[in-house]
Amino acid sequence: MDQQFIKRSDMDFLNRSMPGVLLYAVIWPLLAWSTELYLFDPTFTLIFACVFMGISLLRFIHALSTRFIYKLYPDAWRTLLFFLAFSQAASLSTLVVLMINQSAYHQWVITALLILLTVISGAASSLAPKLKFTQSYLALLSIPGAVACFYSEEFRYLVPLFIACWLYSMFSAQRIFSEYLRAFVVEHKLKDHQKELERLNHTDPLTGIYNRQYFDDALSIQWDLASRANTHLSILFLDLDFFKRVNDQHGHLMGDKVLCYAANLLKDKAKRKSDMIARYGGEEFAIILPTTAHQDAMELAESIRESLHGHDFIEGDVHIRLTISIGVNSTQPNKQQNWLSFLDQADQALYQAKASGRNCVVSYLDTVCDISRVT
């Protein structure tokens, strides 16, 4: 969560500060033009106009480079952001101090101070996602001007105003940051709860593997993907043999443990990232095998059957010999087929495996071939 908050606050700080960057770029030229300061001292006006507009331009360039730099060098990106922002505050604060200290500019001081106080109040809210930076930023804007006014007989009366504005802006920044942090925490918890609800909606609560609904949706998607790529798609339907006896003889709690044991065995066997295992219902499981040909699917099914049959389930003094029946279906999807019929064919193969004495693997393709030979 810490890294998520840092990244979120970085982006919010950047986005919220952009209007202020634009203001910095134009405020001094507008002030100098509207008060005719540029006529009184063109050089002074031009120097600060270049400084304000130059730093603002660098801020815009920095903002545009975020998508390329932030992911690779977040610390360097953040350091440059803070440096440029501090530079803007320092340039404005320096301008105000110079105008206070030089009597020739005194007629424009009040206007400059109004701009400074406006920036201070705006910074308290817009830059609040970075509290420590904001506090330093506000101090850099406020303290030099207050000190300059203190040493100026003409503007000494403004010192309490500076101090009051500074303290109020610090308090406001703290309050806004607390609200920002609280909103982030609430949003983060809501997202976690949403992810958990989505997980519960997609998974079987007992075994932790996917449920039937998610399996059907995934099979539909994999069918379309295989159809477009002209690749093989295979599916296994698996049913624990005589599972009702386990519940009747050992109880449902032991039956639940057997189901979890079987699910873990399936995960150990079908462990490609693309393989998808689900509890289809009761003691029935299903596995989607993308880009898997018929022979490979049969080999995996036989490996599962042998592993389950070759190792008893042991829980304390209870030893249970488990077997499983498996139906297999494979195809290369095309427009003449659909995933529902493909699924039904795998179910037919499973039914044939159970009818053949259980503890065996039956392929729908083999049963089709056998029927063709008989007819």
Other C-beta atoms lying within 10 Å of the C-beta of residue 360: 17
Select which of 283, 284, 302, 306 is catalytic: 283
Is residue 283 flagged as an active site residue?
yes
Rounded distance between C-alpha atoms, residue 319 and residue 299, angstroms: 27
Classify the C-alpha dihedral 68-73-76-82 as positive or negative: positive
Q: Please write down the HEC assignment for all residues of the chain.
A: CHHHHHHHHHHHHHHHHHHHHHHHHHHHHHHHHHCCHHHHCHHHHHHHHHHHHHHHHHHHHHHHCHHHHCCCCHHHHHHHHHHHHHHHHHHHHHHHHHHHHCHHHHHHHHHHHHHHHHHHHHHHHHCCCCHHHHHHHHHHHHHHHHHHHHCCCCCHHHHHHHHHHHHHHHHHHHHHHHHHHHHHHHHHHHHHHHHHHHHHHHECCCCCCECHHHHHHHHHHHHHHHHHHCCCEEEEEEEECCHHHHHHHHCHHHHHHHHHHHHHHHHHHCCCCCCEEEEEECCEEEEEEECCCHHHHHHHHHHHHHHHHHCCEEECCEEECCCEEEEEEEECCCCCCCHHHHHHHHHHHHHHHHHCCCCCEEEHHHHHHHHHHHC
* Closest residue by Cα to residue 103 from 40, 165, 36, 16: 40
In the numeric block, which tokens belong to residue 88? Answer: 């803007």
In the numeric block, which tokens belong to residue 111? Answer: 């206007």
Q: Annotated catalytic sites, by residue?
A: 283
